[in-house]
């Protein structure tokens, strides 16, 4: 792994083990066609900082992105993934990360820093995946970002849906398979310290479920941009449901909590 002031590069062979771990977590079979399912690059090419480089919240204190200041709370807000071709298992891939943009704003919870990180994954010299991630840093304190999604919706009845029972065990396993040490996902006292009423269900897990329900509905993500937004924090063990938007509506998907509240949305458009 090499680092410069404005970019970071990681190179590794796309081995079968991380995908087998993710498949086990989702309670499905591991890929057998030698190709990585769309979005599953999130369990590969991971940053693995030393323990001494982690802050008190579990996030690295430097790197890409780096916290804009001490005591800032990090949240995953959404992103866009363009899959140009599926990655091949057993072959080397290269990921280059850089900060695409930074913006300072002020919200009801105080000062906010919005950072977009651009990740490009190449294999065999060809660009395979472009992954932009939107990260929000808010001021320290005990209140998460205000909810922006209705809390009284009902889960729509759709022909294609994916239910996942998320408990402490699954949160721990997803943190492990993504090498995510953020304590809000496994340390209840810390989650409450950051203002949440329970352990936080990972944003990338919700995005992954939307990608999965889309793929299982027979819609490929290859050659398309998968854009997703995390609308409101989803906390506490519960059954999380991903549903496909009706055909003709950009092949989008949505995530609902057990109480029927909408927590994440996605759209799929031509790249």
Q: 268 and 228 in contact (C-beta within 8 Å)?
A: no
Question: What is the rounded distance in angstroms from the CA atom of residue 174 to the CA atom of residue 185?
Answer: 9
The predicted model scores a pTM of 0.90
Sheet-wide strand order for 161-166: 2-3, 8-13, 92-107, 110-123, 126-138, 73-83, 224-230, 262-270, 253-256, 238-244, 161-166
What pLDDT does residue 149 have? 45
Per-residue tens of pLDDT for the chain, all 271 residues: 444 458 899 999 999 999 999 999 999 999 999 999 999 999 999 999 999 999 999 999 888 888 888 778 899 999 999 999 999 999 999 999 999 999 998 877 678 999 999 999 999 999 999 999 999 998 876 554 444 444 445 676 666 899 999 999 999 999 999 999 999 999 999 999 999 999 999 999 999 999 999 998 888 999 999 999 999 999 999 999 999 986 555 678 999 999 999 999 999 999 8
Beta bridge pairs of residue 121: 95, 129
Domains of the chain by start residue, with CATH: 2-270 (3.10.129.10)
- The DSSP H or E segment spanning 71 is none
Which residue is listed with tokens 């519960």?
A: 238
């Amino acid at each position: 792994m090499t680092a410069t002031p404005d970019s970071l590069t990681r190179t590794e062979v796309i081995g079968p083990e991380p995908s087998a771990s993710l498949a086990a977590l989702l309670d499905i079979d591991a890929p057998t066609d030698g190709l990585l399912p769309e979005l599953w690059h999130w369990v590969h090419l991971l940053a693995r900082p030393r323990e001494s480089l982690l802050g008190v919240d579990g996030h690295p204190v430097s790197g890409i992105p780096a916290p804009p200041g001490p005591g800032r709370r990090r949240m995953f807000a959404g992103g866009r993934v363009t899959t140009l071709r599926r990655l091949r298992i057993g072959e080397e891939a290269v990921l280059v990360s850089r900060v695409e943009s930074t913006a300072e704003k002020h919200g009801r919870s105080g000062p906010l820093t919005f950072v977009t990180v651009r990740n490009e994954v190449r294999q065999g010299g060809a660009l395979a995946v472009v992954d932009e991630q939107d990260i929000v840093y808010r001021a320290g304190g005990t209140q998460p970002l205000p909810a922006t999604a209705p809390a009284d919706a009902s889960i729509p009845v759709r022909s294609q849906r994916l239910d996942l029972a998320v408990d402490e065990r699954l949160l721990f396993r997803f943190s492990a398979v993504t090498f995510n040490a953020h304590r809000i996902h496994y340390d209840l006292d810390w989650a409450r310290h950051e203002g949440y009423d329970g352990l936080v269900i990972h944003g990338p897990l919700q995005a992954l479920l939307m990608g999965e329900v889309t793929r299982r509905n027979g819609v490929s993500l290859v050659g398309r941009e998968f854009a997703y937004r995390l609308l409101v924090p989803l906390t506490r063990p519960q059954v999380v449901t991903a549903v496909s938007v009706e055909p003709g509506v950009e092949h989008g998907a949505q995530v609902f909590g057990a109480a029927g509240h909408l927590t994440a949305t996605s759209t799929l458009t031509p790249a």
